[in-house]
């Protein structure tokens, strides 16, 4: 693996992963939830981009494949995974790890199910969702501040 490649999924999906069953509804923007169901399509109709963990920016050296995405979808059927190996965006080893990933926490059975849950309370998030949103904002600000010159 070189420094430009994405890292494999974390050992467990992050605490705010939209694929986790225990994450409150309404944590992420509607546009983020809309991405989830697209990976349920037949392989040739799926997005070509990998689904990265939301904990890191897209250009961060620590960026990795979303563990929830890896655990929810059949890696052998993911177009993005195949194309990423072909383009050198991930190593073949990372692709294998992603395809074989088993989540230690319960995930939704599909991106469609995760998205439906996520948007359900988007206009009226409960206190747990508000807490999760604030935590994400704090983490993102801290990351941005440490990366600034």
| Percent of the residues in the chain that have a pLDDT greater than 70, as a whole number | 91
Which is more confident, 141 or 70?
Answer: 70
Separation of alpha carbons 93 and 42, rounded Å: 24
- CB-based contact 122:30 (threshold 8 Å): yes
3-state helix, strand and coil shares in percent for the chain, rounded to the nearest 5: 45, 5, 50
**Span 123-139, mean pLDDT?**
91
Does the pTM surpass 0.85? The reply is: yes
**Residue 13 pLDDT:** 96
Closest of 38, 32, 23 to residue 52, by C-alpha: 32
Band (pLDDT 50/70/90 cuts) for residue 130 is very high
Closest of 143, 135, 124, 129 to residue 22, by C-alpha: 129
Alpha helices in 55-91 (DSSP H): 67-72, 79-87
Closest of 128, 135, 139 to residue 26, by C-alpha: 128
- Any idea which of 50-54, 105-109, 110-114, 138-142 has the lowest mean pLDDT? 138-142
Separation of alpha carbons 136 and 149, rounded Å: 22
Given a cut of 60, whether residue 104 has pLDDT beyond it is: yes
Residue with tokens 């059975």, as numbered in its chain: 109
Sequence-separated (6 or more) residues with CB below 8 Å from residue 112: 36, 37, 40
């Amino acid at each position: 693996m070189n420094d430009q490649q994405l890292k494999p999924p974390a050992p467990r999906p992050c605490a705010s992963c939209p694929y986790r069953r225990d994450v409150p509804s309404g944590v992420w923007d509607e546009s983020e939830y809309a991405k989830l169901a697209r990976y349920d399509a037949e392989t040739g109709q799926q997005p070509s981009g990998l689904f990265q963990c939301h904990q890191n920016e897209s250009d961060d050296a620590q960026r990795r494949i979303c563990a929830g995405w890896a655990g929810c979808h059949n890696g052998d059927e993911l177009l993005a995974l195949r194309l990423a190996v072909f383009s050198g965006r991930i190593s073949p080893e990372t692709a294998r790890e992603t395809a074989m990933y088993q989540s230690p926490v319960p995930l939704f059975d599909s991106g469609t199910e995760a998205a439906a849950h996520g948007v359900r309370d988007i206009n009226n998030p409960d206190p747990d969702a508000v807490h999760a949103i604030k935590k994400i904002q704090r983490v993102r600000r801290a990351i941005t501040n440490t990366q600034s010159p």
